[in-house]
Structure 1
Amino acid sequence: MLDGLTNAPASDLRIEPENVLDPRHFAAVRAQGPRLHALPLWCYSSPKFFQAEMERLFYPGWNMMERVERVPNKGDFHTLTFMNIPLIMVRGSDDKVRVFANTCRHRGAVIAEGSGNCKNFRCPYHAWVYSLEGDLLGAQQYDDGEDKPIVTDANKREYGLIEIPSESWGGFLFVKFRKGGESLQDFLGEVPARLASHRLEDMVCTKQLVFDMEANWKCFVENYSDGYHIPTVHKDSLARWKAKYTRQAPPPSGNYTIAFAEHDGSQLLLPFPDYVGFPPMPQIDKEWARGTFFTTIRPGMMMTMGNDGALAFRCEPIGPTKSRLTVSSLFPKSTVARNDFEEIAKNYYRRNDMVVREDVDISLKQAAGIASPFARMVTLQKLEKPLNQIANWVLDRVIGKDAA
């Protein structure tokens, strides 16, 4: 049986092939023209394809992890598990924020939990002590069978905590799990310059929503860029906005997309009388003061940036059919200092409770449907073109740009 829309066996779209990295599986995705295609359905559930994404896309690439403000003072630390890897972010005695693998260099025990402030880290298993900069300070009674110390001044540097490469932009901390490759500045391309006047670095996170989803990470990322679903999924929320998409970044060869919707107000709210918000930030460039930016920094960071604040999304892969979505509400420090901040901010939060949950729910419904033996992926509609761009960006990194 053939699927006439793809000229490939219909079952092949759902069932994982033996060689998931064979470029021939993606011929329809690679083909460009008026009729475009997304990835085969098995790319949303295949353990082999997921592992290739982790090894070739996520581990060597830059991933938005947290806000630097999580550790504002020297000695502040915050632990988290990111993409199944236990990590510590800490502000050192030199005021620099670093990220370390949260695992003792001796026998691998987690050395810190939760958040707080400390002068050093002490492993709970054998009391190895590490500085805030990751250096091993002491390993008590760590002698070999001849009572000679295993750790000496000559080799002590070899036993420090493993530092994860990290850089920051706009108050966001990015990490990569493989050394080398392009800098964060090169990775972000034109994004910092285009969004500079919003001054993300001067904002703070006032609330987070976290969703553990039974869905591949691409489900939500694609949904954020899918304009076709808005009249249906958001018929009583975002669809009520009347916006003119007059400015959009040219199709990038890099790792991001930027679109600008021109309208009155802020899409961090809903266009209803009872959604009272904060005034626009005075420093925004005049051409961007009336409208909302929609930005995707691949693979898993998205931002909705109004003239009054920002909403940042992080979609984190957990497994082939599992992901974690973290949604952060950001406002300027001067706005948060207002006496009426908490009251007005409720309007932004209830907008998120509605709109984000609509997107999460539909992502879960799509993921559940993909599991069906009768699931099919057909030609994309014109407002779904970004899904093909996302697919090709993934394939460029997972199977190679020149693979044919």
Structure 2
Amino acid sequence: MPKYDAEFFKSLDSSILDVLDGETLPPECYTDPDFYEFEKESLFSKEWLCVGRESWVGEAGDYFTTQIADEPIVVARARDGNLYAMSSVCQHRAMLVAEGHGNTRGFVCPYHHWTYSLKGDLVGAPAMNKTCNFDKKEHSLPKFKVEVWLGFIFVHFDINAEPLAPRLEQVTNAIAGYDLENAEGPRPGDAPHLQWNWKVMFENNNDGYHASRLHQGPLHDFVPSEQASFPKAPKGAAGYLRFNGTTHADASFNPTQKAVLPVFAGLNEEQRNRMTFANIPPTLSLVLTADMVIYMILRPTGAGSLEMDTGVLVAPGAMEDAAFEPKMEMIMNSTHHIIAQDWHVDELVQIGLRSRFAKRGRYSWQESAQQQFNEWLVDRYKSHFFEQAPRIFESEVNSEMVD
């Protein structure tokens, strides 16, 4: 039998019970390289993956590269004005055809100078004229489906994938006042290499339980854990929410505890008296305050590691304020203090999950977002496994017959 069999996947049902009855996922889901390989097929190969912001490729010829779950990706704005996403792996000898970001007329593999258009089509292959039955059309970069949601670029490895936006209606409506399509912000800097499982990061980003404990103090006490609430996600939804009431309107993570940047114009009174947390697994997590949105794009690199692009968005025109930089510095000094606390805990959680004494724990009501995350995960784990099960069984039978 395979390491993860039908009995194992059926045991995950206890993680999708009501939060007061349920338990956490098994520790090996966070630590085992074999399970990570399973996730690459069951999740990352089958879901929409956030790769960046549309503003990063605003002009024809603009491009950027990224990598998610061992797949190198390049996104480009072609001369026709459309966005294209594709593998950045040269179809000759697997050299990457692009690195970093910039503006270009096309992609030239530095190894042997195979040349690709901004759409990924192979347009030049030196000294291949003597190669038998060589057709350039058969050696283009593999293309991915692209969808832009609220200014965020998503890609799907299946070019025939169903659209993402219809399954994000609840999240879209909840954060409509932020007008994220037009929100502004600098491109994130280099992504840090983090030594914990991507799910540990995802869970921390939307965990209401730890807020009043780990972050206790003047930089966070105005977002108390007991004011957390968790709207139930519709069946089949691609994302889920946490609302967290604040002790005063327009609360913000800085020493004044109040917004110092312009408040997003579309927010109503209720929205200005809470913070909103939105997750679109497996790659995008949002923290929305009255005057700033923090977005985190999670890119796993292994069972116990990931890279994460962290950026900020502000209301249109906010960056034109002469005092924008010092105001932002004040905010970021506070958020960096909070992030440091989170990252220290995440690292220790990963160590704990590898222990023989790690167990499936129980939840507080303030962890209801974790139960929603589990629902998203377990549904996909089981669907993929039981889809593959007949082939796994047939392979085992054939193997036994050969033996």
TM-score by length of 2: 0.86
Structure 1 distance, partners of 2:74, 2:345, is: 33
Determine helix, strand or coil for the equivalent of 1:355.
helix
- 2:142 corresponds to 1:162: yes
Query: Is the contact between residue 228 and residue 366 of structure 2 (CA under 8 Å) also seen in structure 1?
Result: no
Offset, 1:95: 1.3
Tell me: CA distance 1:162–1:37, structure 2 relative to 1, closer, same or farther (3 Å). same
Alignment counterpart, residue 194 of structure 2, candidates 181, 194, 213: 213
Structure 1 distance, partners of 2:18, 2:272, is: 35
Structure 1 distance, partners of 2:67, 2:144, is: 13
Offset, 1:329: 1.2
- 2:1 corresponds to 1:19: no
Partner of 2:312: 329
Tell me: CA distance 1:72–1:398, structure 2 relative to 1, closer, same or farther (3 Å). same
- 2:191 corresponds to 1:230: no
Partner of 1:367: 350
Alignment counterpart, residue 115 of structure 2, candidates 125, 129, 154: 129
Partner of 1:398: 381
Within 5 Å, give how 1:284-323 maps onto structure 2.
284-323=267-306
Tell me: CA distance 1:52–1:284, structure 2 relative to 1, closer, same or farther (3 Å). same
Tell me: CA distance 1:266–1:59, structure 2 relative to 1, closer, same or farther (3 Å). farther
Offset, 1:239: 4.1
- 2:178 corresponds to 1:198: yes
- 2:134 corresponds to 1:150: yes
Alignment counterpart, residue 114 of structure 1, candidates 89, 100, 105: 100
Over residues 141-161 of structure 1, what are the superposed CA-to-partner deviations in whole Å (9 max), with x where a residue is unaligned? 21236xx6723xxxx432222
Tell me: CA distance 1:116–1:300, structure 2 relative to 1, closer, same or farther (3 Å). closer
Tell me: CA distance 1:238–1:370, structure 2 relative to 1, closer, same or farther (3 Å). farther
Q: For structure 1, which segment, 280-289 or 296-305, has the greater mean C-alpha deviation from structure 2 after superposition?
A: 280-289
Tell me: CA distance 1:189–1:282, structure 2 relative to 1, closer, same or farther (3 Å). closer
Offset, 1:39: 0.3
Tell me: CA distance 1:40–1:190, structure 2 relative to 1, closer, same or farther (3 Å). same
Over residues 11-38 of structure 1, what are the superposed CA-to-partner deviations in whole Å (9 max), with x where a residue is unaligned? xxxxxx9325533432432444732201
Over residues 53-106 of structure 1, what are the superposed CA-to-partner deviations in whole Å (9 max), with x where a residue is unaligned? 110111110111111111221111212223222221111001112112112222
Offset, 1:199: 0.8
Query: Is the contact between residue 265 and residue 290 of structure 1 (CA under 8 Å) also seen in structure 2?
Result: yes
Tell me: CA distance 1:268–1:53, structure 2 relative to 1, closer, same or farther (3 Å). farther
Query: Is the contact between residue 145 and residue 160 of structure 2 (CA under 8 Å) also seen in structure 1?
Result: no
Tell me: CA distance 1:172–1:265, structure 2 relative to 1, closer, same or farther (3 Å). same
Offset, 1:268: 4.2
Structure 2 distance, partners of 1:26, 1:242, is: 32
Query: Is the contact between residue 62 and residue 187 of structure 1 (CA under 8 Å) also seen in structure 2?
Result: no
The structure with the greater share of residues assigned to strand is 1
Tell me: CA distance 1:70–1:30, structure 2 relative to 1, closer, same or farther (3 Å). closer
Structure 2 distance, partners of 1:176, 1:19, is: 26
Alignment counterpart, residue 65 of structure 1, candidates 40, 43, 51: 51
Query: Is the contact between residue 211 and residue 325 of structure 1 (CA under 8 Å) also seen in structure 2?
Result: yes
- 2:253 corresponds to 1:269: yes
Partner of 2:401: none
Partner of 2:161: 181
- 2:234 corresponds to 1:252: yes
Structure 1 distance, partners of 2:350, 2:5, is: 20
Q: Any unmatched runs of 5+ in structure 2?
A: 387-403
**Which letter maps to 1:225?**
N
Determine helix, strand or coil for the equivalent of 1:339.
coil
Query: Is the contact between residue 167 and residue 238 of structure 2 (CA under 8 Å) also seen in structure 1?
Result: yes
TM-score by length of 1: 0.86
Alignment counterpart, residue 281 of structure 1, candidates 264, 269, 291: 264
Offset, 1:274: 7.8
Identity %: 24
Aligned residues: CA RMSD: 2.6
Structure 2 distance, partners of 1:227, 1:208, is: 26
Determine helix, strand or coil for the equivalent of 1:203.
coil
Over residues 291-310 of structure 1, what are the superposed CA-to-partner deviations in whole Å (9 max), with x where a residue is unaligned? 32111112232111122221
Structure 2 distance, partners of 1:240, 1:82, is: 35
Determine helix, strand or coil for the equivalent of 1:204.
coil
Query: Is the contact between residue 299 and residue 306 of structure 2 (CA under 8 Å) also seen in structure 1?
Result: yes
Structure 2 distance, partners of 1:171, 1:33, is: 33
Between Structure 1 and Structure 2, how many residues are aligned? 380
**Which letter maps to 2:205?**
Y
Structure 2 distance, partners of 1:366, 1:118, is: 43
**Which letter maps to 1:250?**
K
Determine helix, strand or coil for the equivalent of 1:376.
coil
Structure 2 distance, partners of 1:150, 1:376, is: 56
Structure 2 distance, partners of 1:248, 1:384, is: 9
Tell me: CA distance 1:398–1:286, structure 2 relative to 1, closer, same or farther (3 Å). same
Structure 1 distance, partners of 2:233, 2:87, is: 36
Structure 1 distance, partners of 2:91, 2:222, is: 54
Tell me: CA distance 1:37–1:238, structure 2 relative to 1, closer, same or farther (3 Å). farther
